[in-house]
Amino acid sequence: MKTTEESLQIRNHLLECMENALIEEDEEKRAALLTVTVVGGGPTGVELAGALSEMKRYILPKDYPEIDFSLMKIYLIEASDRILSAMSAMSEKSSEASTKFLENLGVKVKTNTLVEDYDGSALTIKGQDSIQSNTMIWAAGVIGNAVDGLSDVYQNGRVIVNDNCEVIGYESIYAIGDVTLMITEDFPKGHPQVAQVAMQQAEFLTKKLLRKQEFKGSFEYKDLGSMATIGRSKAVADIAKFHFNGFFVWLFWLFVHLMNILGVKNKLFIFIDWMWYYISFNQSLRLLIKPKKSPN
């Protein structure tokens, strides 16, 4: 999910599944319509699973009282041995707290589980029974498109760069962000694929290119901390090698995201919307919104 249009497509699909579950008489097909799988246990997957569980508990029963939502299942599937493995060095505690929060919300967390295929109605899982689900949301990350002529510098789908962000084996070709793999002593598997890495690399490379002759030094990533919200009043954070979780971390997460929104007017409207949702346990505008098709 990279655009507003794609988020609307996910939202429309979920509501259509609820509509179809209302009239579906076959129990197995109805169960598949009421099963949502989120693949990828990073911050995106954890936050999505938490939001979906809150929709199941507070939102959907108001709109579809005919459906027994105790039958609705939400899976969070992660290939590694724990969720939030991409967070900082203290992430074991964040993983444990997040898993506990999600399980209390009714999410089935499955680690060490590798998805091999999805045909639109069933997830094929390596060494386990398949999961029948009409909704699969991929949150396990993406890889950049390979660049012609640079196929020899790729490892695990990422371009290998040195500590100056320069592609290994080439001069004056630079790469930054998720597409790069910079192996250092502190990050033997490369830096985490998060926005802060790309932002810091961009700032470093800008200074290097503008002052190329006099610039000295190499890129060093400064971990400013990691945060993830699991749901209402539930969040985890790893900051300066300390772990935090709970209500006050959730408030801090809201504050950080609110401050990053452009414009005072936008900040105010979003803050009011968040407060209304928190007080009323409700969200507005659940109509199916689809873009108008242009004439041929």
CATH of the domain at 272: 3.50.50.100
Cα 203 to Cα 181: distance, rounded to the nearest angstrom: 17
Mean of per-residue pLDDT scores for the chain: 87
Which is more confidently placed, 49 or 6?
49
Output the CA–CA distances (angstroms, integers) from residue 32 to 18, 50, 116, 137, 223, in the order listed: 11, 20, 18, 14, 41
Question: Minimal CA–CA distance to 113: which of 127, 132, 131, 92?
Answer: 127
Give the count of domains, the chain: 2
In this prediction, residue 160 carries a pLDDT of 93
Secondary structure (3-state) at 118: strand
In this prediction, residue 286 carries a pLDDT of 64
Residue 271 falls inside a structural domain:
yes
In this prediction, residue 183 carries a pLDDT of 92
Per-residue pLDDT reduced to its tens digit, 73-116: 999 999 989 998 866 555 788 889 999 999 999 999 999 999 99
Residue 56 falls inside a structural domain:
yes
| Domain coverage including residue 78 | 4-140+226-280
Beta-sheet pairing, 135-138 with 158-160: unpaired
Distance spanning both ends of the chain, measured CA to CA: 27
- Residue 291: burial class (beta carbons within 10 Å; 0-12, 13-18, 19+): exposed
What percent of the chain lies above the pLDDT cut of 90?
Answer: 43
* Shared-domain flag, residues 116 and 190: no
> Average pLDDT for residues 174-185, to the nearest whole number?
92
Longest dimension (CA), the chain: 73
Residue 294 falls inside a structural domain:
no
Per-residue pLDDT reduced to its tens digit, 35-52: 999 999 888 899 999 999
* Shared-domain flag, residues 73 and 205: no
Which two structure tokens, joined as six digits, stand for 276? 């209304």
* Shared-domain flag, residues 128 and 254: yes
DSSP 8-class letter at 2:
-
The pTM score is 0.83
Question: Minimal CA–CA distance to 17: which of 70, 57, 72?
Answer: 72
- Residue 59: burial class (beta carbons within 10 Å; 0-12, 13-18, 19+): middle
* Shared-domain flag, residues 161 and 43: no
Residue 59 falls inside a structural domain:
yes
Which is more confidently placed, 237 or 142?
237
In this prediction, residue 104 carries a pLDDT of 93
Residue 286 falls inside a structural domain:
no
